[in-house]
Structure 1
Amino acid sequence: MATAERRSILCPNCRRLINRDEPSCPYCGTSRPGSWLKNNPFTRSAGDADRVITIILAVNVVMYVASLLVDNRPPGQGGLFSALSPGRNSLLLLGATGVVPIDRFGRFWTLLSANYLHGGLLHIFFNMMALRQIAPLVAREYGTWRMFSIYTLGGVAGYVVSYLAGTGYTIGASCAICALIGSLLYYGKSRGGLYGQAVFKEVWGWVVGLFLFGLIVPGIDNWGHGGGILGGIIMAFILGYRERRSDNLFHTFLAGACALATAVSLLLGFLSVYYTFRG
């Protein structure tokens, strides 16, 4: 019994109990899950969905606080919420995107950084609540790394559509979140069956709600939302989901490239702030 327990491990990707000697995880397809390279104290939790989602949430909060520290609006008619809204200059410096930042200043990297900026407390609160609700389901069906790639590249796709539509200035994680929604639309329709239909119907309800919300509330980037959903569907089609395609090295590499590109874009935002105030 003791020997059997020692030979049992949690898959470093899907966190299910498997045999250490399995050539690949029978649940998610990760190759050689028992190898030291994938199962050591440094990499064991790297692919854990909750950990990655928490990091995304934390980066959003850090960028929000940074935008307030750089320049926030003085309290006005909005009271507390007005005081907790960063100024436009702050957001432009840190990486807001749109026609103005891209065409006037050549800041193409803002297509990435804008996904981590928010215009106020309610803005970031509702986006992070949506992320916390949707991302775990996407991670379960697509795997952690594909989820992050869909979030990143789908968000970029949303802002590209918004830019092509002529939006002058836009921010928020909603384009990336809409990409996750798009991937679930694709999953539900592609998988079919009772479960697939249930997923599709639930997610379609979110799409309708987003559409109605965009019609009622002024200042919503509906082009970005639509582009994000479309980008998520395309990325889901290209990458596939776990039931059709096991996790592989390409998925890990793509997620790593997305993480590196995101880090560079956020760093460029901070450098922009530094050189502006230094000058």
Structure 2
Amino acid sequence: MSTPQATTCYRHPDRETYVRCTRCERPICGDCMRSAAVGHQCVECVAAGARTIREKRTPFGGRERSGAPVVTIALIVVNVLAFIAELTVPDVQKQFTLWPPAVADGQYYRLVTSAFLHYGAPHLLLNMWALYVVGAPLERWLGRLRFTALYAVSGLGGSVLVYLLSPLNTATAGASGAVFGLFAALFVAAKRLTLDVRGVVAVIVINLVFTFVVPAVSAHAISWQAHVGGLIAGGLLAAAYVYAPRQHRDAIQAVATAAALTLFAVLVWWRTGELLAQFG
């Protein structure tokens, strides 16, 4: 019986070895040896194999992550910090709520900042509770990047409809537009996953009734434009996200997001021109 011929490690020429990598068959010493499903592999083959392992994805193409819903929590923190600023810094509401004449004057940032301000603690608490309840499953299904885009487009959708249709003497604030967009997105995504959506439908209907009935029977003002705008924007973008064919999913989702933002920009440009033509 012959004895295997010793050779030297391909990375350490001064070390003799009888072991070879089961993938590339290069000789490897004990320091370069990595256990594999069958035999041992060299460090380069192990690294190459790790790069080829497909990353786990969410049902709709996002990167799958474990742990807390980081984006949802971060959005809640930003809203809370903005509310603290409202209480402690003079004129925050005056400078950052959505007031159409100011937007027409070039203060377009109000379309974004208004979605992080709230008129009182109950307003904030209701929106943040809804954001956490609805945002956590959506972030898990969509992934962080897509969920962030969905939230942004929903919030902007609400702001743009406010800019288009609300009275000019009304200042609007709140995350309700974004939250309504998440309501719609939860319905669309759950439907795609063949889950029971009756609870989501009930929540949407109750909130829409609340949106239109409360201002009619009380002095409490609610921006139906923000709610409806967010609902439509979030629902449509979510549909593009969850029904995109797998082979072209990333491209379709990116194009849908860009198309929504482009549409918003065009509508804001048109409304600004209309207001400037009326009032100079």
Following the alignment from structure 1 to structure 2, what is the Cα–Cα distance between the partners of residues 251 and 145? 11
Letter in 2 for 1:228: G
The answer to whether the Cα contact below 8 Å between 1:181 and 1:229 also exists between their aligned partners in 2 is yes
Query: For residue 210 of structure 1, what is the aligned residue in structure 2?
Result: 207
Following the alignment from structure 2 to structure 1, what is the Cα–Cα distance between the partners of residues 186 and 248? 17
Query: For residue 112 of structure 2, what is the aligned residue in structure 1?
Result: 112
Following the alignment from structure 2 to structure 1, what is the Cα–Cα distance between the partners of residues 243 and 140? 9
Does residue 102 of the first structure (1) align with residue 103 of the second (2)? Answer: yes
Judged with a 3 Å threshold, the aligned counterparts in structure 2 of structure 1 residues 192 and 249 are, in CA distance, closer, same or farther, namely closer
In the TM superposition, what is the alpha-carbon distance from 1:23 to its structure 2 partner? 2.5
Does residue 69 of the first structure (1) align with residue 100 of the second (2)? Answer: no
Does residue 149 of the first structure (1) align with residue 180 of the second (2)? Answer: no
Give secondary structure in 2 for the equivalent of 1:172: coil
The answer to whether the Cα contact below 8 Å between 1:175 and 1:228 also exists between their aligned partners in 2 is yes
Letter in 1 for 2:201: W
Show the 5 A alignment for 1:229-244.
229-240=231-242
The answer to whether the Cα contact below 8 Å between 2:78 and 2:116 also exists between their aligned partners in 1 is yes
Following the alignment from structure 1 to structure 2, what is the Cα–Cα distance between the partners of residues 92 and 170? 10
In the TM superposition, what is the alpha-carbon distance from 1:30 to its structure 2 partner? 6.8
In the TM superposition, what is the alpha-carbon distance from 1:130 to its structure 2 partner? 0.6
The structure 1 segments of at least 4 consecutive aligned residues displaced by more than 3 Å after TM superposition are 26-31, 241-255
Equivalent in 71, 74, 94 of residue 55 of structure 1: 74
In the TM superposition, what is the alpha-carbon distance from 1:243 to its structure 2 partner? 9.3
In the TM superposition, what is the alpha-carbon distance from 1:231 to its structure 2 partner? 0.4
Give secondary structure in 2 for the equivalent of 1:207: helix
Structure having greater relative contact order (Cα 8 Å, sep ≥ 6): 1
Give secondary structure in 2 for the equivalent of 1:240: helix
Identity of aligned residues (%): 25
Q: Which has the larger radius of gyration?
A: 2
Q: CA RMSD in A?
A: 3.5
In the TM superposition, what is the alpha-carbon distance from 1:186 to its structure 2 partner? 2.2
The answer to whether the Cα contact below 8 Å between 1:28 and 1:247 also exists between their aligned partners in 2 is no
Q: Deviations for 1:3-23, whole angstroms, at most 9, x for unmatched residues?
A: 68xxxxxxxxxxxxxx88523
Query: For residue 262 of structure 1, what is the aligned residue in structure 2?
Result: none
Does residue 163 of the first structure (1) align with residue 163 of the second (2)? Answer: yes
Judged with a 3 Å threshold, the aligned counterparts in structure 2 of structure 1 residues 184 and 246 are, in CA distance, closer, same or farther, namely farther
Query: For residue 274 of structure 1, what is the aligned residue in structure 2?
Result: none
The answer to whether the Cα contact below 8 Å between 1:154 and 1:176 also exists between their aligned partners in 2 is yes
When normalised by structure 1's length, the TM-score is 0.63
The answer to whether the Cα contact below 8 Å between 1:154 and 1:228 also exists between their aligned partners in 2 is yes
Following the alignment from structure 1 to structure 2, what is the Cα–Cα distance between the partners of residues 192 and 223? 30
Equivalent in 43, 50, 53 of residue 22 of structure 1: 53
In the TM superposition, what is the alpha-carbon distance from 1:245 to its structure 2 partner? 7.5
Give secondary structure in 1 for the equivalent of 2:183: helix
Query: For residue 75 of structure 1, what is the aligned residue in structure 2?
Result: none
The answer to whether the Cα contact below 8 Å between 2:60 and 2:142 also exists between their aligned partners in 1 is no
Following the alignment from structure 2 to structure 1, what is the Cα–Cα distance between the partners of residues 184 and 58? 24
In the TM superposition, what is the alpha-carbon distance from 1:66 to its structure 2 partner? 0.8
The answer to whether the Cα contact below 8 Å between 2:118 and 2:174 also exists between their aligned partners in 1 is yes
Query: For residue 86 of structure 1, what is the aligned residue in structure 2?
Result: none
When normalised by structure 2's length, the TM-score is 0.62
Give secondary structure in 1 for the equivalent of 2:69: helix
Judged with a 3 Å threshold, the aligned counterparts in structure 2 of structure 1 residues 48 and 192 are, in CA distance, closer, same or farther, namely closer
Query: For residue 139 of structure 1, what is the aligned residue in structure 2?
Result: 139
Letter in 1 for 2:83: Y
Judged with a 3 Å threshold, the aligned counterparts in structure 2 of structure 1 residues 56 and 169 are, in CA distance, closer, same or farther, namely same
In the TM superposition, what is the alpha-carbon distance from 1:122 to its structure 2 partner? 0.9
The answer to whether the Cα contact below 8 Å between 1:111 and 1:159 also exists between their aligned partners in 2 is yes
Q: State the number of aligned residues.
A: 206
Letter in 2 for 1:69: T
Letter in 1 for 2:56: C
Following the alignment from structure 1 to structure 2, what is the Cα–Cα distance between the partners of residues 192 and 142? 12
Give secondary structure in 2 for the equivalent of 1:97: coil
